[in-house]
Structures are given as C-alpha cells and as structure tokens.
Structure 1
Amino acid sequence: MSRDERRRVVVTGIGAVTPLANDAPGTWKALACGRSGVRTISTFDASTFPVRIAGQVTGFDVTSAVPERRHRRYLSRGAGYGVAAAVEALAQAGPLTGTDPYRRGVSVGGTVGRVELQQLADMSWLLESTGHSKIFRQSPAEVLERDQNVGPAVMADIGDCRGPFVSVSTACAGAAHALGEAYLRIQDGDADMMLAGGYDALTTWMDVLGFALLGALTQDSPDEPDRACKPFDARRNGFVLGEGAVIAVLEEREHAIARGATVLGEISGYASSLNAYRITDSPPDGGGAITAMRDALADADLRPDDVDYVVAHGTGTPGNDASETVAITEVFGPWAHRLSVSSPKSMAGHLTSAAAGLNLIAALGALGEQLVPPTINLDRPDPALTLDYVPNVARARPVRAVLVNAFAFGGTNACFVVTGPGPRPGQETPR
C-alpha cells in the first residue's frame, strides 16, 4: 500500500501532568520559556541519599482532576496522573457523540507494578521481630493499585473505548511504543481513535536509590536543582529522575474532520528497533537508534532534509548523549548540522515511561508556534558533540517536520515523526 493510500493519523487532543505544569498548555509554555521543574524530593525523606532532587509534580489534586470516585478508587499515584491527562486530552478532542465506541481504543506505556520496598521492609521487620511466618496480607485495593492495566482500563471507561487495548512496559521508550502501536492500529483500520501515551511516578526511595547505585543519576547541584540536568554539556554526568503523564488522542484524519475536531498535528511515521548491545549502555556507534530513525523517516516518506527539529532522548548521561549525536549525524548526514536538536529532560527530568509523551508536546508546540524549545544548562558545550542543541534559549525557526527519539534500558528504541496539520513536507510540490 502506498503512502497516499494509507489512513492518516492525526492528534486531536493532548493532556499532561508534569513537573512543569498540570496541563498540556502550561507544560508547553514552560518548555518554551526554558523553565525547570526539578526540585528537592518531597515524596520521601531523601536527606541522607546521594541524590536528593527530581522532576516532581506539584499542586496536583487527583480528586479535582478525576471527579468520579469510582474512576480514582484504585489508581496509583502515576496512574492518577495518567487518567487526569486522558481527561484533559478527551476534553480537547471534543464530543464523541455519534462515533462508534468499538472503534476507539487505548494504548498506554507504564511501569509494571510491584511491591514498594517499604512494604518489603515491613514484611521483613514483622518476620524478624515476631517470628510471624504467615503470608503478609494485603488488601485487594493495594494489589489493584500496582496493576499497570488499571490506569488504562479507567481511561477506557471514561472515553467509552471498547476497541483495541494495548498496555506496554518498555521503560523509557514506553510512551513512544504506545503511541506507535496506536498509530499502527488506526493506520491498519483496527480503530478510528486511540487514547495513547504514558505515565510513571518513580520518585520513590527504591527507584531513586536503585538508579543512584547504578551510577545513572547526577549528584550535582543538590542546592540548585534547576541546574542539575545538563544534556549535551561537557559537565554532564547523569540524568535527573522525573514523573508525570502525557496522553494524546490519536484519530484517523477523515474521522476527525467529519466530527469537526481541531487537528493539532499528524503522526506521519513510526519505527522501533533493538540494540542487542548492553542492558543499560547506549552503543557508541549509534546502534539500533540509527535503524529506528531511518525507518521512521522512511515510514513517513520523508527525506532527512524534510526534518527541521529532533526532540532528543537527551538524558544527560555521557554515553547516551554521545551515542544519540552519532546516530543523528549518521542518519541526517550533512543536514544534521542544519537541524535543531533539544532535550526537554533538561527542564523536567526523565519522565521514564512518559518521556516520549513530553517530547510529543515539544514537537506539537514547535510545529504550532514555529519555535524550538531549548536545552537548558548547556553552558559548556562538549567539543565532541557538534550539533545545534539550542542552548538555554528557545529559537524561532521554520519547523516542517519533527523526529521524536526515545531510547530505553534493555536497548529498545522507538522513534516517530510529527508533522503539522497541513500537507506533509515534500507534498507541497512534486519531488
């Protein structure tokens, strides 16, 4: 099937709960202004930890964001963010009256639920102090709160989505895979509309300590949290953990137009790959990221010089930033040095399973306002990294197409292309 014969997939709504704001417009405004949401950890006492900062959501009230008690009853903290973002996205997408609920689905990335380390410590204390050997009992509610499918199921209920259901857990590429799977379901005709994105809330003492012990988190700037995350800077030495959710409404273009929805942008291509290298490290030669980027561009039927902006995975770890730079340079060739490349993680921290959703907000904002958000804290450029990373201040420039990158532990890569609501680049005039 040719590109012109395939069903086109557009974005008609987007919602967010992030360290930058508790809605999508506020999140984009913060990105465009270069404002950081990294702060001292408040979810637990981190005063004795080697890392005491994170990108944290503040001022969020799940009761207000998710009004019906039955919808929030079993939500974890992260799932609460996700459902709130879905409510916002559906409201922006507009009334679904007259549409078929069996043609609406859900595709969400999130972390697999597990017992909190504090609960394990409590179990251990009980056994050691009392000799109690019976099974440590938990309520059904506690079990449901750890189930990664509860949040997406609530989203499905709110949106009356009775079609395809996809729940993925691919760590930092989760939202990208979820958006890509939703794109494929619509493109292949299995659905007309999908709620898609990701959520996560790993600012727990187990996760912060675990990532710190891996050496993945920066220990810089505990007293100046907003200065800590430094993607592509010569001083970079680790990422800042974040939390939040971004959920979008993806829809078949003609279906959206028929019901009078506003088209925010188009998902024009998607691809994924594996590095088969190491569990935590990015391959120095760019590895599978090159494959995913090239295949996403090919799926969108775009040339490298059709793209003006790459929303980088850009974690701030030495290896990831170097590997991603090599991959972008390989894929785009001479055009790589005419691209703008920036990392929203410099402002929000790493939202893990929701990270690519934040990158989607950056892509849509760049296309809508012809403005590329910056990479903040980039004060000492690494001479080995030679691309334009938009240091510290947003830049006005023409943006026709955006490539979004998402790379994760385990070596999994997912990339997608976002274009504006009008003709795709290269279709305005014959090639």
Structure 2
Amino acid sequence: MKRRVAITGIGAVTPLGNTAADTWQGLAQGRSGIGPLTTFDASTFAVRIAGQVRGFDEGEGEGEGAGEVGRDGRLSRAARFGVAAARQALRDAGGDRIDVDPYERGAAIAGTVGRPPLQELIDMSQRIISSDHRELYRQAPADVALRSQNAGAAAIADSADCRGPLISLSTACAGAAHAIGEAYRHIQEGDCALMLAGGFDALTTWMDVLGFSLLGALTDRFNDTPQQASRPFDARRSGFVVGEGAVMVVLEDYDRALARGARVHGELTGYSSTLNAYRITDSPPDGGGASAAMRGALTEAELAPDAIDYVVAHGTGTPGNDVSETAAIKDVFGRHAYDVPISSPKSMTGHLTSAAAGVNLLAALGAIRHGLIPPTLNLDRPDPQLDLDYVPLHARRHRVRAALVNAFAFGGTNACLVVRAAEART
C-alpha cells in the first residue's frame, strides 16, 4: 500500500517577498512584484523589466548549513535563493524537532536552467585570444562549483542533512513540479520518510533576457509600466515577464508527520507528467499532453474533475500558451471548466522558470488554508477565445478543498500536482 504524503513546511524567496508568508500576502493582495531590471544595465535592451528578488540577505543563502561551497560563498545567486527557501521550509516543518534519520531524508531539486555568467566566458575567451593562458590557471579550482548545476542542489540537501537520495533535474518551467512529484513518489514507495523538494532560478542576466527576447517570448510593450506587463489570459498579452526566486517544500510520510505533531499544510494526492512531442517553444493549440497530465494527476488522486475547487494555471501570458492551457482545461473538465476558478500567479511574480511551479503550489496551499483565491492581475480586457473564469483583478473568497497545480515547459514537458486539505481524507 502506498504511503500518504504530507506537506509540513514551505519556504520562498520571490519578487513578492523573501518569505513564504510575504509571498502569500502579495498574492492575496493582488500586488505586482515586477519592476525595472537592476541586475545589469538594460537601458539599451528591448526588454527592461523583470520579476526580481529585492532586499535579499545574501547571508541567508550561504554560511553554515549551506554545504561546503555555500560556506565559502561560491554558490550562484539562484542557488542562494534555493538555500534560503530550504532553510525556511525546514524551520516551518519543525526544524530540530524533526526526528528523521538522515539516511531516510532525501532531496529533489529543480536547478536553474541558466549557465555560467556570460561575462566570465567572455573574459576567458579574451585570455585565450591574447595567449595569456597563465591567467586561466590562476582560477581557484573550487570555482568550478559555480558552473555545476548540481552544486546548488547538493548545498540545499546538505542544509537539511539529507543523506538519502538526491535528485537534481532541469526540465525548465515544469522543473519544480517534477521535483516535488518525484519526491512525492519516493515517500509513497517508502524510500524515504522526508524529502526536501522545489526549484530555484534567476534568469535575470543579460544573456537570458536577450535570448528570450530574440525568441519573441518576452513582452516589450510595458517597459514604462512594468506592473501592467504580465497579462495571462488578457487580450493584450504579448509575452511573459522573466522572474527569479526559489520555493521549497518539506514532504513527509503523513502518519509519521502526525505522530510527531507536525502541522500539515496539505496532502499531495496526485502527480502526473507527460510530453507534448510538438515543438520546443510552442504549446499545441488543442492542449496536447497537458490534458493527459491533468487527467493522470486527477486519476491518481481519485478525484473527478468537478471535485477540484481551484486550478492554479501555468498561465504565462504568451499568446499560444494561454490558448493551449484553456483548451486542455476544457478538454479535461468539460462543463465544470466554466465553474472552477482559475488564476495565474505569474501575473504578479513574472515567470520564475524552474521555481514557477513552487509558487503555484504555494498559491494552492494558501487558497486551501485561507479560503481565498489569488487573482489574475491585469486581466482587464477579456479575450473572446479565452472564456473561462480566470478570477480577474481581485482575489475571491472561495472554499478550496482540492486544487490542481499546472506546470508546462519549453521542450513540451508537462507536470501536474493535486493537493488537498489536510483533513480531507482523515
């Protein structure tokens, strides 16, 4: 018999705040965290805005409990967000009161989809061109940690004294959902009693902004009014807004969590993953594999579509993605598609790529706890093609017992989670 899985801790560093509580408050208030880019000089760029983390204490993402590279201050900006969010999640779950053997603790982490800082690569190239190869050999060997996707995941696992399995994956915008789903599987099957899971990312470098701009994926129409830029499901949507941050959760064997007196935020009851096999950057207009992923998660959760009280949409604000996701919801939910509230946190945070599904899960847990659905900001001009209830502009009071969390990524990979109120099956 598969074990039940409880969510006992959550931590976040996002454009809406540097804690999970502050992030939820921002979502509930319909507050935008999007503003001018300050991570580089974007004055000559077509896109000059982002959902950027502000006021972050670098010490939260390094020092003791952040692994060897974290203690030495060698973690990337994105990984430091991840370590800080992980520490929050552990404190929320009970910290030192968590009595789980280290070898029964694991981690599943979606790392950044980024790369080494481009300026560093340019500097290396110039040294090679100038034939001053000696400069290359003067780099500290440990600096290789900065270029390793696994370094951040390992530091996060170390922060929780996880000596069981470590899964480090990169599936772009579905990354956090895959990480949380795979952690869920490990607990279900009895491989671990506790898993730390989530994602971190910081695609606010000039190379990432330039690359996504050239793809035509980012909106460039709201540089002077950045808080209006992210417009999922709106008729004036013209692309997503890049963001950064991290969200981590602690998952535990449900019965053991109750036995130790842990507070349970919610119960994960379903997870499914599919691939569109359509195009790298575009979603299929008919919903494609997203429909199958939603159905799979609902089937595992043993819930009919009309038992879902809230759909946390992937909702990027790109013209094609919003059409595809709407088609998939209609395909899976039938008539209930017109009754179930749907909203997109990306309208407030921008797109946190590998961490995006973590924000969506945070929104679902907040809605379950507070009976409040965050709005889709900037949806002031409905698109006739998109005729569902996307909770425009203002949060809404609504009882939520079960929520579906969507995550659909470049490359055509999809992942969906179902989370239920903690007492729903007890």
TM-score interval for Structure 1 and Structure 2 normalised by the shorter chain:
over 0.9
Measured after TM superposition, the shift of residue 122 of structure 1 is 2.1
Aligned position for 1:76: 76
Q: Report SS of the residue matched to 2:365.
A: helix
Whether 2:31 is the aligned partner of 1:30: answer no
Aligned position for 1:50: 46
Percent of aligned positions that are identical: 64
Of residues 90-99 and 294-303 in structure 1, the stretch that sits farther from structure 2 once superposed is: 90-99
Whether 2:325 is the aligned partner of 1:324: answer yes
Aligned position for 2:183: 182
Measured after TM superposition, the shift of residue 224 of structure 1 is 1.2
Q: How does 1:242-257 map to 2 (within 5 A)?
A: 242-257=243-258
Q: Output one character per residue of 1:342-368: Cα deviation in whole Å (capped at 9) or x when no partner.
A: 000000000000000000110000000
Q: Report the residue type matching 1:27 in the other structure.
A: T
Aligned position for 2:194: 193
Aligned position for 1:385: 386
Measured after TM superposition, the shift of residue 217 of structure 1 is 0.2
Measured after TM superposition, the shift of residue 220 of structure 1 is 1.6
Q: Report the residue type matching 1:353 in the other structure.
A: S
Q: Output one character per residue of 1:267-289: Cα deviation in whole Å (capped at 9) or x when no partner.
A: 11000000000000000010000
Q: Report the residue type matching 1:358 in the other structure.
A: V
CA contact (8 A) 2:114 2:203 kept: no
CA contact (8 A) 1:72 1:80 kept: no
Measured after TM superposition, the shift of residue 414 of structure 1 is 0.3
Q: Report the residue type matching 1:47 in the other structure.
A: S
Q: How does 1:13-412 map to 2 (within 5 A)?
A: 13-64=9-60, 66-68=62-64, 70=68, 71-73=70-72, 74-94=74-94, 95-111=96-112, 114-128=115-129, 130-132=130-132, 136-137=136-137, 138-412=139-413
Q: Report the residue type matching 1:41 in the other structure.
A: L
- CA–CA distance in 2 between the matches of 1:72 and 1:170? 28
CA contact (8 A) 1:66 1:87 kept: no
- CA–CA distance in 2 between the matches of 1:423 and 1:342? 23
CA contact (8 A) 1:9 1:267 kept: yes
Measured after TM superposition, the shift of residue 67 of structure 1 is 4.5
User: CA 1:67/1:266 → structure 2, altered by over 3 Å: closer, same or farther?
Assistant: same
Q: Report the residue type matching 2:92 in the other structure.
A: Q
Q: Report SS of the residue matched to 1:149.
A: helix
Q: Report the residue type matching 2:267 in the other structure.
A: E
Q: Report the residue type matching 1:142 in the other structure.
A: D
Q: Output one character per residue of 1:30-69: Cα deviation in whole Å (capped at 9) or x when no partner.
A: 0000001111001000000010000000000121454428
- CA–CA distance in 2 between the matches of 1:197 and 1:223? 33
Q: Report the residue type matching 1:78 in the other structure.
A: A
- CA–CA distance in 2 between the matches of 1:75 and 1:302? 42
Aligned position for 2:8: 12
- CA–CA distance in 2 between the matches of 1:121 and 1:62? 26
CA contact (8 A) 1:19 1:55 kept: yes
CA contact (8 A) 1:200 1:351 kept: yes
Measured after TM superposition, the shift of residue 115 of structure 1 is 2.8
Q: Output one character per residue of 1:378-410: Cα deviation in whole Å (capped at 9) or x when no partner.
A: 010001101000001000011111000000111
Measured after TM superposition, the shift of residue 127 of structure 1 is 4.2
User: CA 1:133/1:393 → structure 2, altered by over 3 Å: closer, same or farther?
Assistant: same
Q: Report the residue type matching 1:11 in the other structure.
A: I
- CA–CA distance in 1 between the matches of 2:243 and 2:5? 29
CA contact (8 A) 2:111 2:152 kept: no
CA contact (8 A) 1:264 1:421 kept: yes
Q: Report SS of the residue matched to 2:149.
A: coil
Measured after TM superposition, the shift of residue 374 of structure 1 is 0.2
Of residues 67-76 and 264-273 in structure 1, the stretch that sits farther from structure 2 once superposed is: 67-76
Q: Report the residue type matching 1:83 in the other structure.
A: V
Q: Report SS of the residue matched to 1:313.
A: coil
Q: Output one character per residue of 1:301-330: Cα deviation in whole Å (capped at 9) or x when no partner.
A: 000010011000000000000000000000
Q: Report SS of the residue matched to 1:273.
A: strand
CA contact (8 A) 2:312 2:360 kept: yes
Normalised by the length of structure 2, the TM-score is 0.96
Measured after TM superposition, the shift of residue 140 of structure 1 is 2.5
- CA–CA distance in 2 between the matches of 1:176 and 1:159? 20
- CA–CA distance in 1 between the matches of 2:166 and 2:219? 37
Of residues 201-210 and 60-69 in structure 1, the stretch that sits farther from structure 2 once superposed is: 60-69
Measured after TM superposition, the shift of residue 259 of structure 1 is 1.1
- CA–CA distance in 2 between the matches of 1:215 and 1:113? 18
